[in-house]
Amino acid sequence: MTLFLIGALRAIIEMLGLCLLAQGVLYVVAGQRRTSNPIYQLFALITKAPCQLIGKFLPLRTSPKVLAFIYFFTLLSLWIGLAIARKFV
């Protein structure tokens, strides 16, 4: 049961990380038209809640680009941490 929960959490974090990466690629490719892009809006909707949760622990005057990197590396470290925890369970 514990192994299943770790695997499920890891899959959710992996999905969030991939959505954040795809959102970043669309940010670069679509440019100013990204706000009208429905795929970009979908990725923004998926990543909104976790980004707000992580943002509560950061200073208010942090650049959005820096915040995106912090979000991604937080997700990456959680994903790696769950992989290590899976090995020891």
pLDDT digit string, tens, across residues 2-53: 999 999 999 999 999 999 999 989 989 988 888 899 999 999 999 888 888 8
Burial class (CB in 10 A: 0-12, 13-18, 19+), 70: middle
> pTM score, two decimals?
0.84
pLDDT surpassing 80 at residue 62: no
Which conformational region is residue 19 in: left (phi greater than 0), alpha (psi within -120 to 50 degrees), or beta? alpha
- Give the tokens for residue 42: 């979908």
pLDDT surpassing 80 at residue 84: yes
